[in-house]
Amino acid sequence: MIRPFRSETERYGEYSKAGEFVYDHPFQWGSKRTGPDLHRIGGKYPNIWHYHHMIDPTTMSPGSIMPAYDWMAENDLDISSTPAKIRAMQTLGVPYPEGYDEKANADLMKQAESIVADFKKNDVSIAANKELIAMIAYLQRMGTDIKASR
């Protein structure tokens, strides 16, 4: 969460509001802003933009100081503990529906497959079970509930 400083909102745009991270455990408060607030990045850029930005950030944002995360395209995503993580989050008050722990991985793979299919339109081939796909799915989801309610 980025605290609102006037000069930074002029440079990077609106800051996060409390309702956008109500279910984050722990809260990620900070006072230094190195880049834009990502709480509403979902849908702002296409999947392929995120792919290229994660592989080599300077191709999409010249002058960026963000490191490359190209290794995420090689690493397999471990989803073996997803049901336990869902149950843990439910005990903390995150309103997942009853029984969601048993279908979360199916939802995860459905979203991953749609990103991979989108990549194929841009001649990029990557397996759906890679960490990079999960990161892009996460980024594309951020702030979409807030946007939908407006």
pLDDT digit of tens for each residue in the chain (150 aa)? Answer: 455 566 666 766 666 676 777 777 766 666 565 667 677 788 999 999 999 999 999 999 999 899 999 999 999 999 999 999 999 999 999 999 999 999 999 999 999 999 999 999 999 999 999 999 999 999 999 888 765 655
1's tokens: 């969460």
141's tokens: 């989801």
Task: Domain ranges for the chain, please list them.
Answer: 1-39, 41-149
pLDDT at 68: 96
Angle in degrees, CA 128, 28, 11, rounded to 5? 90
109 C-beta neighbours (distance < 10 Å), count: 15
Q: Name the CATH topology of 41-149.
A: Cytochrome Bc1 Complex; Chain D, domain 2 (1.10.760)
